[in-house]
Amino acid sequence: METLLKRIQNKEAIIGIVGLGYVGLPLAMEFCKGGFTVIGVDLLEDKIEQLKSGKSYVLDVAPDTVAEYVGKTFFPTSSYSELAKADTISIAVPTPLRKSKDPDISYIVSAMEQIKKVLHKNMVIVLESTTYPGTTKELIAAEVENMGYALDKDFFIAFSPERVDPGNPVYHTKNTPKVIGGCGPNSTLIAKTLYEQVIDTVVPVDSTEEAEMVKLLENTFRAVNIGLVNELTLMCDRMGVNIWNVIDAAATKPFGFMPFYPGPGIGGHCIPLDPMYLSWKAKMFNFYNKFIELATDINGNMPRFVIEKLMHILNNEGKALSKSKILLLGMAYKNDIDDLRESPGLEIYNLLLEKNANIEFYDPYVSSFQNGAERVSGIAELTPAKIAEYDCVVLLTAHKNLDYELIAEHSKLIFDTRNGFKGIDSKKIKRL
159 in the same domain as 293: no
* Mean pLDDT computed over 205-213: 97
pLDDT of residue 272: 84
173 in the same domain as 71: yes
376 in the same domain as 262: yes
Does some domain include residue 226?
Answer: no
pLDDT of residue 189: 98
How far apart (Å, rounded) are the C-alpha atoms in residues 267 and 209? 26
* Mean pLDDT computed over 217-237: 95
Does some domain include residue 164?
Answer: yes
309 in the same domain as 427: yes
**Structural domain boundaries, residue 388:** 241-431
Examine the residue annotation and report whether 32 is marked as an active-site residue of this protein: no
121 in the same domain as 8: yes
DSSP state of 61: S
pLDDT of residue 22: 93
Does some domain include residue 211?
Answer: no
Q: What is the pLDDT of residues 13-30, one digit of tens each?
A: 999 999 999 999 999 999
Listed residue (218, 230, 223, 215) closest to 262, CA to CA: 230
What pLDDT band is residue 268 in, cutting at 50, 70 and 90?
A: confident
248 in the same domain as 201: no
262 in the same domain as 395: yes
Q: What is the pLDDT of residues 36-45, one digit of tens each?
A: 999 999 999 9
Q: What is the pLDDT of residues 140-157, one digit of tens each?
A: 999 999 999 999 999 999
281 in the same domain as 417: yes
**Catalytic residue from among 32, 183, 236, 270:** 270
Say what the alpha-carbon torsion angle 277, 283, 288, 292 is, to the nearest 10 degrees: 10
SS (H, E, C) 100-152: CCCECCHHHHHHHHHHHHHCCCCCEEEECCCCCCCHHHHHHHHHHHHCCCCEC
Structurally, the chain folds into a number of domains equal to 2
DSSP state of 73: T
276 in the same domain as 188: no
Q: What is the pLDDT of residues 370-380, one digit of tens each?
A: 999 999 999 99
Task: Report whether 226 contacts 260 (CB < 8 A).
Answer: yes
Stated as kind and residue range, the H or E segment containing 374 is: strand 374-377
What pLDDT band is residue 135 in, cutting at 50, 70 and 90?
A: very high
What pLDDT band is residue 100 in, cutting at 50, 70 and 90?
A: confident
Inform me whether the pLDDT recorded for 167 exceeds 90: no
Identify the CATH number of the domain in which residue 125 sits. Answer: 3.40.50.720
261 in the same domain as 394: yes
Does some domain include residue 232?
Answer: no
* Mean pLDDT computed over 256-280: 89
* Mean pLDDT computed over 90-118: 91
Q: What is the pLDDT of residues 178-204, one digit of tens each?
A: 999 999 999 999 999 999 999 999 999
CA distances, 84 to each of 48, 95, 121, 319, 363 (Å): 19, 25, 11, 64, 43
What pLDDT band is residue 136 in, cutting at 50, 70 and 90?
A: very high
Does some domain include residue 213?
Answer: no
Measured from the Cβ of residue 353, the count of other Cβ atoms closer than 10 Å reads 13
Does some domain include residue 405?
Answer: yes
186 in the same domain as 71: yes
Listed residue (46, 37, 39) closest to 76, CA to CA: 39
Does some domain include residue 228?
Answer: no
Q: What is the pLDDT of residues 305-359, one digit of tens each?
A: 999 999 999 999 999 999 999 999 999 999 999 999 999 999 999 999 999 999 9
Does some domain include residue 360?
Answer: yes
Of 206, 229, 249, the residue that ends a domain is 206
What number of helices (H) and strands (E) belong to the chain? 16, 15
Helix/strand/coil percentages in the chain, nearest 5: 40, 15, 45
Of 206, 228, 250, the residue that ends a domain is 206
Inform me whether the pLDDT recorded for 263 exceeds 80: yes
91 in the same domain as 18: yes
The β-bridge relationship of strands 156-159 and 178-182 is antiparallel
